Chain A
């Protein structure tokens, strides 16, 4: 069967539904003949392939008579449209603005697979009196009476030692309450040094951490996002992002349509595959520029929100306590990330704590010989703000150590507004390799680090940053900070191969990296971005075609794939994971 465009596929399915709605079963040849009469050129083999694959829920195949008929409850065009409209109405009644892409994916979740343009069409025509489209944000808003929902999220009790679910909205609000309580108690009861701490001779100042992570009051006022799946949350995050002008002046603009496509492609690729299979998404693009940068944004955002990280507080605290004294730590205090040193466990008034010394001197090596700085005592709950800094977090190592003043984490508020439900302190403190980019260094670094973004929210105000604040590419970080992505140069002499962790997605930014290094990355999903203007484009496309024939074990779920903009062509298939 020759490759069939989604557009053709879609129109063939719709026309077949209309044709068979008279109740008379037909063979594939009869359907093909009838469709040809309606201007849809299709062979019987194509009809067979499409009705069996994409239309299996709508059509029943009779193997004895080789005929197709409609499944009893299959809706025809007009009733389907009405059903979509009703569902959209139900979703939008919460008053929250949403873009067509988000609505399309939500409908898919309700088993009504429709593309974004259909949503657009229905809301603009059928729903023109009830919905207002905001061309600035590309979102629709419900104009009728808003229905209030109960906030969603897992109920997390503030019992000490229970798991904190970082991906949960409630966890975020529950954990600080608990930590605040412990903190207040400690300040009251531990005003005098404990026996243990008094024995420490050179600590000039002992203070219990009083800056317990608080949810900014304005964030708590943020209206709840009801019934959002992680995928919807991810798409909502992307939708909330704005492009800021490089100089910081000028208006904020929504992400261009093509940039959203790449971000959504990143989200899609990140959520595919299982332990046995991996997904390959190859995309031919008119220009490589910014495609990988926005795809990485989608991958990292999606993985952060979809793969819940459960930190076992007991285990975490035990691990920190067992560290040798002098271990370098990354410590999140207020809006600053500090380079600190583990000064051993302690017990204060019966409460186990860890002693974390913040260095006054910018040269950490001095700590070995001279004890200086302030010591904070952190309870088990507060220890979540501490992580071991091995010096291997960035490839540059411990080249730029941060002293007592610390590094102001300017991106923290931006990240809080962007992720909304995520524990951003953990995001900033703990490395996780979710995305590897293989491409041209100068260009990619410029695209990720120099693209000014912003979140505009009635509560947060305008928070500005750059793509790197979210994507956190290890190579592009200025000092020892937690990363979420890594980068390898495609045309370098050093091999681009994994040095430990396997990322969820490997993004090949251009043909060169794909042709040269692909075999090292067959354990992760692939997003192969091929620029049509590249010299190696045809060679890389041929390689994809060969692998598609030789390695394909199944097709990707095309229904969930974002609609490509003009000039973009994509193929999705599955392979065995190595």
Chain B
């Protein structure tokens, strides 16, 4: 957090005192028909809605509906309605006539509605923005979007108009900082944003733009029971006379049937099934005795990325901490990773980036050390293959090991593990694998290897921190992702991602997947 002055805090309280929230309703007949048509089609599918045949078709159309609702871009903007999307949709329902003859005509009509929109250059949101910024106003203004990936197409749309030259496209994370705006335009339903956007405003005026058929304009709600507070300026504003319009998420269950004239905000957000993503991308090799599968947790990252991170108590990941006066790079236990934190991942080059750097640090010694490491692990694997995990752990205990159990023996076989935590366990392993009479010597070599790995990690952290300190991290806060390029020999490209969601269940994945981000396609 950058140095904050008392004046900037006073400005925040002044915004709370005076902020006026104005709702502007957008309309477009074609898009409205498409939105309701998609809803009606989905309900007409009934139980077939979960059929794989419809999954991609529905997901793509819903994504389009969401993105148009979330950004002031034209309906045919190539970033959201490219020609490849139309092709994909057409191929989705190619065989619909034979498989779902009763639904074919409705699917074709829906596709037709989309096809028409995808050639339409209208942009209702931009029209209202034009009116709002009719005259050039002094001071900083912001346009708030719910999705960082929509920043670029919106910026391109606005770029051609001089009246928007001082309008910054923002994401809500930026409003958590000390941002002072003269005017903030919020695009999309209020419930897509944190309540703080309105209840802790960073602007003297908020213009809220959303399509007419979406229910639930923002209204101040008490946070605590029996609370003491000063009335908001918005408290005095009139409420909608249409009860359905005031409906919120609660109205989503059944009461908001296909006949409803409004969409609840939650209905428009494409659903993300973490379990399904984990199943789709997690590739465990379960079943083999030698597998090194890792118990991980799925983290969804900004921009449609995901990553499996080791769920072990000792496991950690590099994080960028922006809370201090200067950005810091920390090793944070993966179990403490929460939504909103920034994690650093390698996004260029495969495998373990520490190994080549550690080898370089060890110089000529590296080959011999690595061979010794491989040798005792190979012999241990052979023993396990011969006797099984349980028997080997019993043998190790008999030889003086204190922590030998099937789980630990499996971990000691892994290529990534260098040595045991305790020398007694290591001595027993050396005895079992006939690695010589002097386990102390090998222990020292493995300690040397361990320290080389630590030095390599430290070196990379230093290089990354240097880069981070020379970068404007506000872009990271805005877009939720930032790349840092190191020389190839030092690890290549790393990217900082904002964590959007943390999976509730663990997934077994191969060690090569752990820590490597992938596109979820959502």
B-binding residues in A (CB < 8 A)? 3-7, 243, 256-259, 282, 284-287, 289-290, 440, 442-443, 446-447, 451, 531-538, 541, 544-545, 548-549, 555, 558, 561, 563-573
Contacts and interface: CB of A to CB of B under 8 A. Distances in A.
Interface string B287-305: 0000000000000000000
Contacts of B229: 5-6, 564, 568-570
Contacts of A440: 323
B230 A442 contact: no
Nearest to B197: A533
A533 B230 contact: no
Nearest to B195: A532
B42 interface: no
Contact of B230 (A7, A535, A573): A7
B9 A572 contact: no
Nearest to B326: A442
Given A443-B1, A535-B338, A567 B199 contact: yes
Contacts of B391: none
A447 B199 CA distance: 24
25 contacts: A3-B227, A5-B231, A6-B229, A256-B10, A257-B13, A284-B223, A286-B12, A286-B13, A286-B15, A286-B201, A289-B12, A290-B9, A443-B324, A447-B4, A533-B200, A535-B340, A536-B338, A541-B223, A564-B229, A566-B13, A566-B16, A567-B16, A568-B230, A569-B222, A573-B226
Given A451-B6, A565-B16, A4 B226 contact: yes
Interface in B396-429: none
B225 interface: yes
B466 to A, nearest CB: 20
Interface in B130-185: 175-176, 178
Contact of A564 (B4, B200, B201, B228): B228
B224 A548 contact: yes
B224 A544 contact: yes
A571 B323 contact: no
Contacts of A4: 226
B199 A286 contact: yes
B13 A533 contact: no
Nearest to B3: A446
Contacts of B15: 286, 567
Contacts of B455: none
Given A537-B196, A566-B16, A545 B228 contact: no
Contacts of A256: 6, 9-10, 13
Interface in B1-53: 1, 3-4, 6, 8-10, 12-13, 15-17
Contacts of A532: 194-196, 199-200
B13 A565 contact: yes
B17 A570 contact: no
Contacts of B12: 286-287, 289, 567
B46 to A, nearest CB: 35
Given A535-B339, A536-B338, A548-B225, 19 more contacts: A5-B222, A5-B228, A6-B229, A7-B230, A243-B6, A256-B13, A257-B13, A287-B9, A287-B200, A443-B1, A446-B3, A531-B200, A541-B223, A544-B224, A545-B225, A555-B226, A564-B228, A568-B230, A573-B226
Closest 9 CB pairs of A and B: A567-B16, A286-B200, A571-B224, A569-B229, A566-B17, A532-B196, A532-B200, A533-B176, A535-B340
Interface SS of chain B: helix, strand, loop or mixed? loop
A70 B227 CA distance: 27
B325 interface: yes
A481 B428 CA distance: 53
Interface string B224-264: 11111111100000000000000000000000000000000
B10 A563 contact: no
A347 to B, nearest CB: 55
A538 B4 CA distance: 24
Contacts of A282: 224
B232 A572 contact: no
Interface SS of chain A: helix, strand, loop or mixed? mixed
A567 B227 contact: no
Q: Interface size bucket, B side?
A: 35 or more
Contacts of B230: 7, 563-568
A393 B5 CA distance: 31
Contact of A6 (B10, B16, B228, B325): B228
A427 B231 CA distance: 41
A541 B228 CA distance: 15
Contacts of B178: 287, 289
Given A443-B323, A446-B325, A258 B13 contact: yes
A258 B325 contact: no
Contacts of A558: 228
Nearest to A452: B6
Contacts of B175: 533
Interface in B280-332: 323-325
Given A258-B9, A535-B338, A535-B339, A565 B228 contact: no
A442 B325 contact: yes
A332 to B, nearest CB: 32
A574 to B, nearest CB: 12
A135 B222 CA distance: 33
B19 to A, nearest CB: 8
A440 B228 CA distance: 27
Nearest to A246: B5
A443 B222 CA distance: 28
Interface string B186-198: 0000000011100
Interface centre among B12, B13, B17 (most CB of A within 10 A): B13
A289 B9 contact: yes
A442 B324 contact: yes
A289 B228 CA distance: 21
Contacts of A289: 4, 8-9, 12, 178
A409 B417 CA distance: 56
A440 B199 CA distance: 23
A285 B224 CA distance: 12
B231 A7 contact: yes
Contacts of A549: 225
Given A442-B323, A446-B325, A532-B196, A572 B6 contact: no
Nearest to B225: A3
Contacts of B3: 446
A535 to B, nearest CB: 4
Contacts of A447: 4
Contacts of B325: 442, 446
A548 B226 CA distance: 10
Contacts of B227: 3, 5, 569-571
Contacts of A561: 228
Contacts of A555: 226
Contacts of A257: 13
B516 to A, nearest CB: 26
Nearest to B17: A566
A259 B200 contact: no
Given A6-B229, A446-B325, A567 B224 contact: no
Nearest to B14: A566
B515 to A, nearest CB: 22
A447 B1 CA distance: 12
Contacts of A569: 222-224, 227-229
Interface centre among A286, A290, A532, A567 (most CB of B within 10 A): A567
A545 B199 contact: no
Interface centre among B13, B195, B196, B229 (most CB of A within 10 A): B229
A565 B323 contact: no
A566 B229 CA distance: 7
Contacts of B200: 285-287, 531-533, 567
Interface string B358-387: 000000000000000000000000000000
B231 A571 contact: no
A405 B423 CA distance: 53
A541 B194 contact: no
Contact of B17 (A5, A565, A571): A565
A296 B196 CA distance: 25
